[in-house]
Amino acid sequence: MNEQQTSTRTPPSLYLLATLPPEPVFSEVWALKQEVNRRTGSRNAVRLPPHITLIPPFRLVPAEFEPEALPALARFAAEQAAVEVGLHNFAWFGNRTLFVHVSGAEPLKQLHAELVRFCKAELPTIPHEKRPFTPHMTLATRDLPPEQVSELKQDFAQRSYAATFPVTSLVLFRHDGRQWQPVQEFHLGRE
């Protein structure tokens, strides 16, 4: 059986690579995502835990991708030092996406640049993102009711939020057809 036949039998899965904040930031941002979900019905708000996306969603066949990717990403993470991330207040991408703004993002941008270089060399099946990396922590996206956006914008413009946390690991997620599931966590290992 050739590779084409195998690929047609096993459909590609949707993946993304992200970093998750530790407690208490995780619970604080999760509560905000749940609030937006309750207020607006935005299900996208709660389909993925609080995170900062490093490699946006891409499709690959698990049996072909994971055996190569998991050890490679573990090697990459082991060579990286933890970086500090700051969160400060809220912002929007247009009227579609409400997020917690990442402040002082240079160390995270450097980690992202190293990850992109590594993937180009070691995991070329991961597509290269064309848009610039804009680190952020999404609260709701794509399914916000348009009639509620103005009120949400006013509400979150009056709020303040600030936190810092160390990025100590990366997590590969795979979509199971309903929501995102963690495949493996990769701990950053360099002191």
Query: Does residue 1 fall inside a structural domain?
Result: no
Query: Does residue 3 fall inside a structural domain?
Result: no
Query: Does residue 84 fall inside a structural domain?
Result: yes
Query: Does residue 176 fall inside a structural domain?
Result: yes
- CB 48 within 8 Å of CB 186: no
Task: Assess whether the previous peptide bond of 124 is cis (omega < 30° from 0).
Answer: no
Query: Does residue 5 fall inside a structural domain?
Result: no
pLDDT at 191: 53
Q: Which helix (H) or strand (E) holds 171?
A: strand 169-175
Q: What pTM was computed for the model?
A: 0.90
Below-70 pLDDT ranges, the chain = 1-9, 190-191
The residue with tokens 């270089």 is 117
The CATH number given to whatever domain includes residue 125 is 3.90.1140.10
Query: Does residue 4 fall inside a structural domain?
Result: no
pLDDT digits (tens, 9 = 90+) for 50-59: 999 999 999 9
CA dihedral 179, 68, 184, 55 (to 10 degrees): -60
Q: How far apart are CA 187 and CA 141, in angstroms?
A: 28
Q: How many folded domains does the chain comprise?
A: 1
Residue 130 sits in which domain range?
10-187
pLDDT digits (tens, 9 = 90+) for 101-143: 999 899 999 999 999 999 999 999 999 888 899 999 999 988 9
Region of residue 91 (left: phi > 0; alpha: psi -120 to 50; beta: else): beta
Bridge partners for 15 per DSSP? 58, 174
Query: Does residue 2 fall inside a structural domain?
Result: no
